[in-house]
Amino acid sequence: MSLSNPHALAIAYAPSTPVSHVQFDACLRPWCIALAIYLLAMTWLMLGEGDFVIADWLYALRGGGWRLREHWLTVGVIHKDGKMLSQLMWLGTAIFTGIIWHRPEWRAWRRPLLILMASVVLATGVVAMIKHAVPMQCPWGLQRYGGSGMHIGLFEAWPVNIPRNACFPAAHASSGFAWIALFFFFLHVRPHWRWWGLGFGLAMGTVFAASQELRGAHFLSHDLTTIMICWGVSLLLYGVFRGRAQA
């Protein structure tokens, strides 16, 4: 199939299943189950000190200390280049959307692409807003791990004489987990590809999250919260715009 024939490409890659055939309840149920698991996990991580159990183990991996905090791989490649990759992916999606916008044969792709872009922006934005609104220490800043700060729980009052830190939830991981929205994008255009989309978003976010935990930038609870936010935002937008499409 020639790339010079956009009409043929549009026919080949047109949505294979009408949006109305994809039940929203079937997408909501897994998120609700995940939410229940998340709440149980957070109970252990934050109230049962599970975060410290995991962070202690990571801290001791290389003889004590966050040896990968300034490593070229975690900082240069995964953090800086990883963030740029996510931004370029969004930009590429926007450019592609602009190219096909006035082509009638690609009409069925317009709404799914807009929802995808909106999901990524909104998910990362919500995580960033919460992070700046909720004071929380990073592991590397705690006395327990060689820093100078004291641990203050999520639901504890933040002392007025202690500078506010912004470490919850995990913002960098959201650059990857936001692409969980690919699951819902493919539900619109290629339902049988949806699990590949979900796997890509989870894999990208997990790499970013693991790197930050190895650096001492976040606890596991921070990353799990980011996953639930990104997934929830994508699910919400899918439900809202799906309903409008059926109206």
Note the pLDDT tens digit of each residue in 23-56. 777 788 899 999 999 999 999 999 999 999 999 9
**CA angle 136-139-140, nearest 5°?**
120
According to DSSP, the residues that pair with 142 across neighbouring strands are 149
Q: Is the pLDDT of residue 1 over 80?
A: no
Q: In the prediction, which pLDDT does 220 show? A: 98
Q: How confident is the model at residue 245 (pLDDT cuts 50, 70, 90)?
A: low
How far is Cα 27 from Cα 186, in angstroms, rounded to an integer? 13
Alpha-carbon gap, residue 131 to 229, rounded angstroms: 12
CA distance 30 to 195: 13
At residue 10, the pLDDT reads 56
Pair 43, 153: CB distance under 8 Å: no
**Percentage of residues in the chain having pLDDT higher than 70:** 89
The predicted pLDDT at position 69 comes to 95
Q: What is the mean pLDDT of residues 218-245?
A: 91
Please give the average per-residue pLDDT across 153-162, as a whole number. Answer: 85
- The closest alpha carbon to 170, from 137, 216, 215, 209, belongs to 209
Residue 62's contacts (CB-CB under 8 Å, 6 or more residues apart) are: 68
Residue 242, number of CB atoms within 10 A of its CB: 21
Cβ(51)–Cβ(145) under 8 Å? no
- pLDDT tens for 8-26 read 555 555 555 444 445 777 7
pLDDT above 90 covers a percentage of the chain that reads 72
Q: Which of 210, 74, 221, 69 is nearest to 146 (CA)?
A: 69
- 52 versus 4: the higher-pLDDT residue is 52
Residue holding tokens 């990883």?
A: 82
Place 62 in a pLDDT band, splitting at 50, 70 and 90.
confident
Look at residue 20 in the predicted model and tell me its pLDDT.
45
Helical (H) or strand (E) element with 143: none
Contact, 242 vs 22, CB < 8 A? yes
